[in-house]
Every structure is written in C-alpha cells, then in structure tokens.
C-alpha cells in the first residue's frame, strides 16, 4: 500500500489513526523547513476526511527524534461535540504485528528462542495441511506469511468468535493452501496467533500480553496502550467506529479480537505511538536507554518475503517485502517501512521514512 503524499516531503515516522473522530487540538512547534506541515497538512487532511466521509482521525509525525505534529481532527462520535485529541483511543489492528515481531526478535537476541528453529520445538503439536511444510516451518515463517495460504484464509472464521488461541493454531492444519510453502505470499493472521503462543513456551509461561507489557510498553512509558480490546467501549476518550461500505455512514460495533490478540488487537493513541515511533527511529533506544538491541530490532525490518519485485505502473516503487510485522519498499528512491491495520470501521497506519543526510 503506498504511503500518503506528505511522507514524500518529510524524513519522518508517522502514525495515522482513523475511526470516529475533527477539530484541531494540541500541536507542537513545527520547524520552518517542513513547509508541507505548516502550509498544507490541515487542509490536506480535512479534504480527505470530506471525500472519504471520515468522522475523525488522529495523527502524529516524528522527525529527528522530536514530535513535529500530534493532534486530532473531527469528533469521537457523529452528532456529538467531543473532539478527537492526541489521547483519544483507537484500535490499531494489524499494527499489533510489529509489537509481536519485536517481542520475538528480542527473545531471539536473548537466546530464549531461535527464529530459525522449527516451531515444533516450542509447540510440539503444531501442524500444517502439508506434512513436509509441517516439518520445515520455523518461528520466522509464522510471521512472514509463508504458508501459501490465500490472503486472510481462515481468518474470518476466527474473528469475533469464542475460539481460543490454541484451537486457532490447531485448526491451521485444516487449511489447504492454494500456493506453495515459502514461495507464494498470502497474508495470514493465524501465523501471528501461533507466534504469540510461542512466547509462553519460550519464557516458561509468560503470556504474550505480559511479555509485551513488561518489555515494550512499560519501558517506553506507553501507559495508554493496551494489549486487550475487551472493555474498550467502557474506556474514556475513545473513538467510535463507522463504515460506509454498504451504504450511508453508520456506526458499527466494536471488534473484540482478544483471541487473535498477537495479530490484530491492540489499542493505543497517537501520544503513545509517538514514543513507539521515536524508539523505532532511534534504533531501539528511548530516552537514552536501549530498550531493544538494534541487532534484534533490525530483524523486524529485514526481508523475509518478497511481496512484489515488479516496478509499479502508478507509484515510484520497484519492490515490496515483508519482515516481522513490517513491509518495506523503495519509494521515490528512499527506503520506507510501514504497516496498516484495519478493523470494523477503523484504519490505522504506522510508517518510517529515513533519508540519507
């Protein structure tokens, strides 16, 4: 998926959360060099919100380790005046995957697991439909969309269900792939659920939620980020979800994907995601402390899967690859990393763009 226009003008990390929320709020001082931010950002966003019928969104842009923009647009709920601000909570959906990839890369760096070890070392009952693939599949494969499945194959039978994670993992053996193992790309949430199940197996019982909380959220001071979506509707300052997919804009129910949490379930706001982006841009450091070694964090960005190696007929891109919860591409001559996330009535995106010099 190509990045928004303004990323071509900034050496930045950015996070964009869209759901039920438009009135501009807290904004930090913007360097004069960022002309697009000062001259055009607000009008660009508001125009897009009108065109796409987006009730509201929140945005943060980080440049050179500093927050350049951090603000909300729109309202949390259609018909009510409460605005979205930098602390409004949204589901970040599949942006969760980078937290899972980072957690397992950290465990790999600590020698508590090996990304290239067979999954059956940690989950002895793990099987895929194909017996040869079952013998070969590694922890890295779980997060690289290597199964040969069609994109989302099986996933929608698990969303909003009471099927627990071990059973989701067990049912992966029933999904007949349409492509070949490690050759054909097909986006799979189930693989990340299985990766989350590797965490307690490798740590002596620490759940995925607890590991992410203790090793990522707490060190980064992400106090408004939650690994579970249960109870989201009761939290203060939340953006409601809306969709116009099947007709006029209408409110849609909140998703509860706790059973697939390592793939798509986290809740956050742009205040907290600014910290996540600073950590990403500073090679695993935050406030002068090395939270995750760069050697481990770098593994989340290294290409494990070729999504496309053809020049885009529309965008200035020649390749797209997938790491451990991050896509990568060349965009207008620069290397970029990003991931999107979608839940019912909401969209999230995090992106990193670094220019030489």
Q: What is the largest CA-CA distance in the chain?
A: 59
pLDDT at 35: 74
By the 10 Å C-beta count (0-12 exposed, 13-18 middle, 19+ buried), 342 is classed as middle
| Average pLDDT of the chain, as a whole number | 88
Q: What is the mean pLDDT of residues 257-278?
A: 94
Q: Given a cut of 80, is residue 356 above it in pLDDT?
A: no
Confidence of residue 232 (pLDDT cuts 50, 70, 90): confident
Task: Report the DSSP beta bridge partners of residue 269.
Answer: none
Confidence of residue 19 (pLDDT cuts 50, 70, 90): low
Return the percentage of the chain with pLDDT > 70, whole number: 89
Q: What is the mean pLDDT of residues 319-328?
A: 96
**Counts of helices then strands in the chain (DSSP H, E):** 11, 14
Q: d(Cα 284, Cα 77) in Å, to the nearest integer?
A: 36
Residue with tokens 């070392």: 121
**317, 328 Cβ separation under 8 angstroms:** no
Q: What is the mean pLDDT of residues 220-224?
A: 97
Q: Given a cut of 90, is residue 230 above it in pLDDT?
A: no
pLDDT at 284: 97
pLDDT at 9: 31
Instruction: Work out the number of other CB atoms within 10 angstroms of the CB of residue 121.
Output: 15
172: left (phi over 0), alpha (psi -120 to 50) or beta: alpha
Q: What is the mean pLDDT of residues 17-22?
A: 48
Q: How many CA atoms lie within 13 A of 263 on its CB side?
A: 29
Q: What is the mean pLDDT of residues 106-128?
A: 97
Q: Which two tokens stand for residue 64?
A: 């050179």
Confidence of residue 13 (pLDDT cuts 50, 70, 90): low
For domain 5-93+227-301+326-353, the CATH architecture is 3-Layer(aba) Sandwich (3.40)
Three-class secondary structure of residue 240 per DSSP: coil
Q: d(Cα 80, Cα 74) in Å, to the nearest integer?
A: 10
For domain 99-210, the CATH architecture is 3-Layer(aba) Sandwich (3.40)
8-state DSSP, 253: P
**pTM (predicted TM-score):** 0.90
Q: Do domains 5-93+227-301+326-353 and 99-210 have the same CATH topology?
A: yes
Provide the residue ranges of all domains of the chain, joining segments of one domain with +: 5-93+227-301+326-353, 99-210
Q: What is the mean pLDDT of residues 172-192?
A: 92
Residues 231-249 as b/e (b if ≥16 CB within 10 A, e otherwise) read ebeeeeebbbbbeeeeeee
- pLDDT: which is higher, 348 or 16: 348
Q: Given a cut of 50, is residue 39 above it in pLDDT?
A: yes
Query: pLDDT tens across 48-95, in order?
Result: 999 999 999 999 999 989 999 999 999 999 999 999 999 999 999 999
Query: pLDDT tens across 124-154, in order?
Result: 999 999 999 999 999 999 999 999 888 877 7
Long-range contacts of 242-251 (CB under 8 A, 24+ apart): 242/19, 242/20, 242/53, 242/55, 242/78, 242/345, 243/344, 243/345, 244/53, 249/53, 249/55, 249/78, 251/20, 251/77, 251/78, 251/345
Q: Taken in order 288, 290, 291, 297, is the CA torsion positive or negative?
A: positive
Q: What is the mean pLDDT of residues 108-120?
A: 97
pLDDT at 151: 84
Confidence of residue 357 (pLDDT cuts 50, 70, 90): very low
Distance of alpha carbon 238 from the chain centroid? 19
């Amino acid at each position: 998926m190509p990045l928004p226009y303004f990323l071509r003008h900034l050496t930045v990390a950015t996070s964009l959360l869209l759901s039920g929320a438009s009135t501009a709020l807290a904004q930090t001082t913007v360097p004069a060099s960022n002309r697009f931010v000062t001259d055009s950002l607000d009008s660009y966003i508001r125009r897009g919100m009108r065109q796409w019928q987006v009730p509201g969104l929140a945005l943060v842009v980080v440049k050179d380790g500093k927050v350049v923009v951090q603000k909300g647009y729109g309202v949390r709920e259609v018909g009510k005046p409460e605005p979205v601000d930098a602390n409004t909570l949204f589901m970040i959906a599949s942006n969760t995957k980078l937290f899972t990839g980072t957690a397992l890369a950290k465990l790999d760096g600590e020698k508590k697991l090996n990304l290239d070890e067979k999954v059956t070392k940690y989950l002895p009952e793990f099987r895929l439909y194909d017996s040869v693939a079952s013998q070969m599949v590694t922890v890295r494969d779980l997060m690289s969309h290597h199964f040969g499945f069609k994109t989302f194959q099986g996933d929608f039978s698990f969303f909003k269900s009471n099927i627990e994670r071990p059973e989701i993992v067990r049912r992966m053996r029933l999904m007949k792939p349409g492509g070949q193992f490690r050759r054909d790309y097909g986006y799979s949430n189930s693989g990340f659920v299985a990766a989350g199940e590797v965490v307690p197996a490798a740590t002596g019982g620490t759940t995925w939620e607890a590991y992410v909380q203790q090793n990522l959220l707490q060190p980064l001071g992400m106090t408004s980020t939650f690994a579970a979506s249960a109870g989201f509707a009761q939290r203060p300052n939340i953006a409601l979800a809306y969709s116009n997919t099947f007709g006029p804009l209408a409110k849609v129910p909140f998703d509860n994907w706790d059973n697939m949490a390592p793939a798509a379930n986290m809740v956050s706001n742009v205040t907290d995601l600014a910290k996540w982006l600073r950590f990403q841009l500073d090679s695993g450091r935050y406030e002068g402390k090395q939270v995750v070694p760069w050697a481990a964090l770098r593994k989340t960005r290294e290409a494990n899967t070729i999504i496309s190696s053809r020049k885009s007929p529309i965008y200035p891109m020649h390749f797209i690859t997938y790491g451990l919860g991050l896509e990568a591409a060349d965009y207008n001559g620069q290397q970029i990393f990003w991931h999107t996330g979608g839940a019912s009535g909401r969209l999230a995106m995090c992106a990193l763009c670094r220019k030489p010099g």
